[in-house]
Amino acid sequence: MIIADRLRALREERKFSQGDIEKRTGLLRCYVSRVENGHTVPAIETLEKMARALEVPLYQLFYEGEEPPEAPSLPKGKNPGEIAWGSSGKDARFLAKFRRLVGRMDEGDRKLLLHMAQKMANR
């Protein structure tokens, strides 16, 4: 089932109108309609808003079961902190600060920063 159909089914199951979703999320009704009809692919932040408005956990927009899906097993010999840089501790705080600051930059500055980082990585 694609996300558009799942959102519509959950909304109708709870007897909410698109106007109700508009009020609960702050998204325009016409945008909600475009998402439900498959004309627009929503960002994850938008899906989080819609899940809150529909009073369901986010995973239910992607998964139809009653229980959360089983998490995949991690590679043997590694704990979750060793899997990805920035997933915990000091690195996670640094990464969060970096994301916040880059998010406030305008598009031109972001492109310049990325270009410079690519040039430095190629050395």
Q: Which residues contact 93 (CB under 8 A, 6 or more apart)?
A: none
Lowest average pLDDT, out of 53-57, 60-64, 113-117, goes to 60-64
DSSP string, 96-111: HHHHHHHHHS-HHHHH
What pTM did the predictor assign? 0.54
Residue 111: give the domain boundaries: 85-121
Confidence class for position 62, pLDDT limits 50, 70, 90:
confident
| Average pLDDT over the chain, rounded to an integer | 85
In terms of domains, do 56 and 95 share one?
Answer: no
pLDDT at 76 over 80: no
The answer to the question of residue 68 being in a domain is no
pLDDT at 74: 60
* The total number of structural domains that make up the chain: 2
For residue 18, what is the domain's CATH number? 1.10.260.40
For the chain, report the end-to-end CA distance as a whole number of angstroms: 46
Q: Which residues contact 42 (CB under 8 A, 6 or more apart)?
A: 3, 35, 50
